Structure 1
Amino acid sequence: MITFRLLQTEVIAMDYIVLDMEWNQPWPGSPSAKKVLPVQIRGEIIQIGAVRVTEEQLVADEFQTLIQPRIYRRLNRRVSKLTGIKEAQLHRDGIPFPQAVEEFRKWCGEDVIFLTWGFDDIGILRENLRLFGLSEDWTERWYNAQMIFNAQTDGSSSQKALKTAMEMFEIEPSRPAHDALGDAYHTALICAMLDLKKGTAQYEQALKNHDNGFHGAELPGCIARKVFYDYADKRAALAAMSGEENLCPTCGRQMLSSRWFAQPGHRYMDLAACPEHGKFLIRIRMSEQPNGLTRVSRLTYEATSEAAAAYARRAEKADPQDQPYASRRRRRRRAASQEIRDNQGGTTASE
């Protein structure tokens, strides 16, 4: 007689962890910005906020913690103004980063998928994990919810602000913006209205349609992406991209801008150089915000990338008029040279 025994198998539910973070950055040119770290980071995490969305896509429990800064101990005043976080608050209520990660992982559980609104958060998290010698394997199952949102709404290939997505889904803000938990909660409300299983299954195609603020997919070799807001006009935006925002993606030091070449669609490209880490190709695209100010989407590429090769080809057949405000700069250079010659002539006469 043959008997059969039914084996009971445990069905493990898969949760989605909607993650958002705030991080501190040193003021350009400050001693902190010149620190040589074993692992270069774009920012030091000071707040982690997360909301669980169940497999049934129900918004569930929350996690939030402040983190004591160890690398950049002085809080950048821009970061403080944006987030509302105070330096004294971090040192009083924050916990060390390794402890924060341990508590966060324990809260997440084992079988989870991470979702963020944008590309930056997961990259910043992995950089901080490497800096502190912590494992980053647990972050591998991650998706950018922006891509899923675009694919399941208007099919757009551009990045949308969280506020814009909330308006499209008629979600009224109920938490503070630029707060890690507040942004994570609002993102979770959006994710609960998407088909996450379908979105993650079709994610690769969504990525192919994405352009990070450019018309057309980004070229291979992109190592950093960032969006800047609220410039008065194109001139102010270009000045910032050539100056205080022109930072090395490896060490954070200000780079030397080479020459901006105009491209169709309000786009420009430049070859910037870091004294320590060499050259990087910078591509930017400008667009007008609803408030009339200028938004800049910036991509940074390795100097050996296809994009950098395109810059070299463009430079070979350059027309001086292609450079923004080139004629004005030429006049200034000529005037400065003439002033030097006049001064030299005066010195000779006095001798």
Structure 2
Amino acid sequence: MIILDLEWNRSYDKNPLNEILQIGAVRVGVIGGPILDTFSVFIRPTIHKRFDPGARKLPELQASVQSTVEFPAALEAFRTWCGGETVFAAWGGGDDFKALRQNCEYWKIPPVPVETVQDLQMAFSYLVGTSQQVALWRAVEYCGLPDIFDFHNALCDAVYTAVVAQWLTPEALSYRPPKRETVRRLPSPHLSKLPFSKQPRRKVGPMSAPADVLNAKAARQPVCPICGRVGSVSRWSFTRPKGKAVPLVYYAVFRCREHGRFLCRLTLATQKDGAWIGRRSVPVITPELMREYEAARQDGVHACRSGKKKTRRSRP
């Protein structure tokens, strides 16, 4: 199996082509297995005269600008490296392969044969219980992986995708969204049934606004109540209160790789000076608590933000 990632310059002129600037890929025996081989090639841009804002931020853009390899030669090298493999995976199932086909059509060369594509982003979203697309860097953060490579380098992103895939379960990999459903609802996550003692509440804040508390690292990193492994929260669910501007109780599910999923609760309160504080806990599951959580799942969602711009590491 080949895990593929591409970087490109999005079309902005009369030529509706997303011009590929880098092809990166890794080979694995199975999803979640070790990386067996890697491939990367930077491609000299020849179609568009300018770079779109996203392309200008690519950490390895100059490697493409200075490359002497044009797309036909790059694709032939990639085709040879694939060795006839037709099973692929990617973080997101369609955009990269659509761009690959479009570039092949533009250069009038045969595409790399692709029989099946596994969307690992969709599988990860199912795993963590959200219908939203989870960015790769946030999935890396959720899994507690060290941030040692540049994101938006095609090879580095393919490596990150292959490592994150170790967290994916067969159930998540086999999930397919309903085709005829106006509102997509994911099944309730299966919470761990392992017993644990009452957990202490952790203070978060004080902070100037409720969103600051919800986005705070201290709020988004609950620990497994059994082994103490740090988890990660990417979104909070809440029930919209009647007569109040801000919900005061939020719920999320986080996962311990060894002991399963647990429910995290965050309550908000204001101090006399107007600052907001939170109290994060991992409560023991009761039927009443599950009813509250399910009501929140069907109501409001707060997607967490890290609160600072993602920085890119420059290579020496």
Shorter-normalised TM range: 0.5 to 0.7
Structure-1 separation of matches of 2:154 and 2:112:
22
Q: Deviation per CA, 1:242-286, whole angstroms, max 9, x where unpaired?
A: xxxxxxxxxxxxxxxxxxxxxxxxxxxxxxxxxxxxxxxxxxxx9
Q: 2:14 aligns with which of 21, 34, 58?
A: 34
In the alignment, is the contact (CA less than 8 A) between 1:116 and 1:122 conserved in 2? no
User: TM-score scaled to structure 1, two decimals?
Assistant: 0.48
- Quote how far apart the aligned CAs of 1:128 are: 1.2
Structure-2 separation of matches of 1:58 and 1:195:
16
The aligned counterpart of 2:121 is 146
The aligned counterpart of 1:23 is 8
- Whether 1:46 and 2:14 are equivalent positions in the alignment is no
Instruction: Tell me the amino acid that sits aligned with residue 193 of structure 1.
Output: W
Structure-1 separation of matches of 2:159 and 2:58:
18
Instruction: Tell me the amino acid that sits aligned with residue 3 of structure 2.
Output: V
* Distance change in 2, residues 1:210/1:103 (3 Å): farther
Q: Deviation per CA, 1:148-171, whole angstroms, max 9, x where unpaired?
A: 2233x2232211011221122221
- Whether 1:83 and 2:59 are equivalent positions in the alignment is yes
- Quote how far apart the aligned CAs of 1:192 are: 3.2
Q: Deviation per CA, 1:107-141, whole angstroms, max 9, x where unpaired?
A: 11223421111132122112112222223361232
- Whether 1:159 and 2:127 are equivalent positions in the alignment is no
Q: 2:99 aligns with which of 124, 127, 132?
A: 124
Q: How does 1:307-326 map to 2 (within 5 A)?
A: none
Structure-2 separation of matches of 1:287 and 1:129:
41
Instruction: Tell me the amino acid that sits aligned with residue 216 of structure 1.
Output: R
Instruction: Tell me the amino acid that sits aligned with residue 4 of structure 2.
Output: L
Q: 2:50 aligns with which of 74, 80, 85?
A: 74
The aligned counterpart of 2:76 is 102
Unaligned stretches of 5+ residues in structure 1: 1-15, 218-285, 294-351
Structure-2 separation of matches of 1:186 and 1:61:
14
Instruction: Tell me the amino acid that sits aligned with residue 184 of structure 2.
Output: G
- Whether 1:216 and 2:196 are equivalent positions in the alignment is no
- Quote how far apart the aligned CAs of 1:292 are: 6.6
In the alignment, is the contact (CA less than 8 A) between 1:53 and 1:192 conserved in 2? no
Q: 1:170 aligns with which of 123, 134, 144?
A: 144
Q: Deviation per CA, 1:3-47, whole angstroms, max 9, x where unpaired?
A: xxxxxxxxxxxxx21111110135x4xxxx024xxxx42x10001
In the alignment, is the contact (CA less than 8 A) between 1:157 and 1:210 conserved in 2? no
Q: 2:109 aligns with which of 120, 124, 134?
A: 134
| SS of residue matched to 1:143 | strand
Q: Report percent identity of matched pairs.
A: 32
| SS of residue matched to 1:131 | helix
Structure-2 separation of matches of 1:199 and 1:136:
29
In the alignment, is the contact (CA less than 8 A) between 1:23 and 1:47 conserved in 2? yes
User: TM-score scaled to structure 2, two decimals?
Assistant: 0.53
Greater share of helix residues, 1 or 2? 1
The count of residues paired between Structure 1 and Structure 2 equals 191
* Distance change in 2, residues 1:164/1:34 (3 Å): same
Structure-2 separation of matches of 1:165 and 1:184:
13
| SS of residue matched to 2:167 | coil
The aligned counterpart of 2:168 is 194
In the alignment, is the contact (CA less than 8 A) between 2:59 and 2:150 conserved in 1? no
Unaligned stretches of 5+ residues in structure 2: 186-300, 309-316
- Quote how far apart the aligned CAs of 1:195 are: 4.3
Structure-2 separation of matches of 1:171 and 1:91:
31
Once the two structures are overlaid, the 10-residue window that deviates more, 51-60 or 161-170, is 51-60
Two-structure CA RMSD over aligned residues (Å): 3.1
In the alignment, is the contact (CA less than 8 A) between 2:86 and 2:113 conserved in 1? no
The aligned counterpart of 2:155 is 181
- Quote how far apart the aligned CAs of 1:65 are: 0.5
Q: Deviation per CA, 1:284-324, whole angstroms, max 9, x where unpaired?
A: xx97651579xxxxxxxxxxxxxxxxxxxxxxxxxxxxxxx
In the alignment, is the contact (CA less than 8 A) between 1:157 and 1:209 conserved in 2? no
In the alignment, is the contact (CA less than 8 A) between 1:173 and 1:186 conserved in 2? no
- Quote how far apart the aligned CAs of 1:207 are: 3.2
